[in-house]
Chain A
């Protein structure tokens, strides 16, 4: 079974990559973009027995740095 972990920067944490993407999109002529934040998508293929609690532990121990990042777990 697939589980998706979405890692995003916390609100208020400056995102230089998001800013650069924002500028590049504007440079291409796209208008109306208020803000861009870049994150990560980590796809896990896990056994059915692997519950959300253990995926959450994976996030806290490795996949996200909770000093600066939030994470969200989605089941496919």
Chain B
């Protein structure tokens, strides 16, 4: 699998993501700087990592979503390339219009940094193939703006179309319908606030994140 990790000024989970991808796919991802307007050819997966791109200026993910590389990411997504946005990456994908809704300040105001229980709400997505339906898993979160918001019509559509892939199984940030991760209508773009790349080795305290990447690899 050929993968790439997008790097913005202020990204801070890009190397964690790269290590995770290297470990699971057996190949080092291309690291693509935000000013590049073209992506490497023949990519199977583009990862938009966590962090504080552009210092979260204006809104989390807002500036990054308008950077040159994101035009290429949007174009690749429209061709069906798999795109995974984690944490700030989810915020960037929502700001770029690849995913509906918005991520607002956590309902409790505080930055939340801990392991949380999640439920796999749809094990049929390309990203959740190695999980069981309704399985409870544990992944770390570390965010200030993870409170997913969308209008009722959008929420109903996400629910009805099975596009809510991960839900919080405990109170975390006030997210509508406990949404932790959603896919786009084509199913090739996932945004999630929890960090799968931080649960890929036994030393991380669990392997629940590794299974997301293994699922993408297929088999």
Q: A interface vs B, CB < 8 Å? A: 13-14, 16-17, 19-20, 61-63, 65, 67-68
A to B CB contacts below 8 Å, 12 in the list: A13-B104, A14-B104, A14-B107, A14-B149, A14-B174, A16-B107, A16-B174, A17-B105, A65-B59, A65-B62, A67-B94, A67-B101
The answer to whether A20 touches B101 (Cβ under 8 A) is no
Give the one of B58, B106, B150 with max A CB within 10 A: B58
A62-B58 CB under 8 A given contacts A13-B149, A67-B101, A67-B150 = yes
Q: A13-B149, A14-B174 are in contact. Are A65 and B102 (CB under 8 A)?
A: yes
Contact B150 A62 (CB under 8 A): no
Verify if B108 is at the interface (C-beta below 8 Å from A).
yes
> With an 8 A cutoff between CB atoms, is B202 at the interface?
no
Question: Are A16 and B102 closer than 8 Å at their CB atoms?
Answer: no
Residue in A closest to B104 when the chains form the complex, CB atoms? A68
Contacts of B101 in A (CB 8 A): 67
**B76 CB → nearest A CB, Å:** 21
Judged by a CB distance under 8 angstroms, whether B95 is at the interface is yes
- The chain B residues found within 8 Å of chain A, CB to CB, are 58-59, 62, 66, 94-95, 100-102, 104-109, 147, 149-151, 174
User: Which residue of A20, A61, A62, A63 has the most chain B CB atoms within 10 A of its CB atom?
Assistant: A62
* Distance between Cα atoms of A8 and B151 in the complex (Å): 17
| Distance, CA A60 to CA B185, complexed state (A) | 23
Docked-complex contact A16 and B106, CB < 8 angstroms: yes
CA distance A65 to B95 in the complex (A): 8
**How far is A7 from B104 in the complex, measured between Cα atoms in Å?**
14
Chain B residues with CB below 8 A from A65, complex form: 59, 62, 95, 102
Q: Which residues of B contact A13 (CB under 8 A)?
A: 104, 149
Q: How far is the CB of A42 from chain B (nearest CB, A)?
A: 8
Set of chain B residues within 8 Å of A68, measured between Cβ atoms: 102, 104, 149
Q: How far is it, in angstroms, between the C-alpha of A3 and the C-alpha of B158 when the chains are bound?
A: 38
Bound: A61/B147 CA distance, A: 22
- Least CB distance from B96 to A in Å reads 11
Residues of A contacting B66 in the complex (Cβ-Cβ under 8 angstroms): 61-62
Is A16 a contact of B108 with CB atoms below 8 Å? yes
The interface residues of chain B lying within 8 Å CB-to-CB of A20 are: 109
Task: State how many angstroms separate the Cβ of B9 from the closest Cβ of chain A.
Answer: 17
In the assembly, what is the distance between CA of A62 and CA of B100, in Å? 16
Q: How far is the CA of A59 from the CA of B44 in the complex (A)?
A: 34
Contact yes or no, A16 B149, CB < 8 A: no
| Contact call B109/A17, Cβ cutoff below 8 A | yes
A22 CB to nearest B CB, Å: 12
Contact B102 A67 (CB under 8 A): yes
Determine which of A17, A19, A62, A67 lies in contact with B149 in the assembled complex, contact meaning CB atoms within 8 Å: A67
B104 contacts across to A, CB distance below 8 A:
13-14, 16, 68
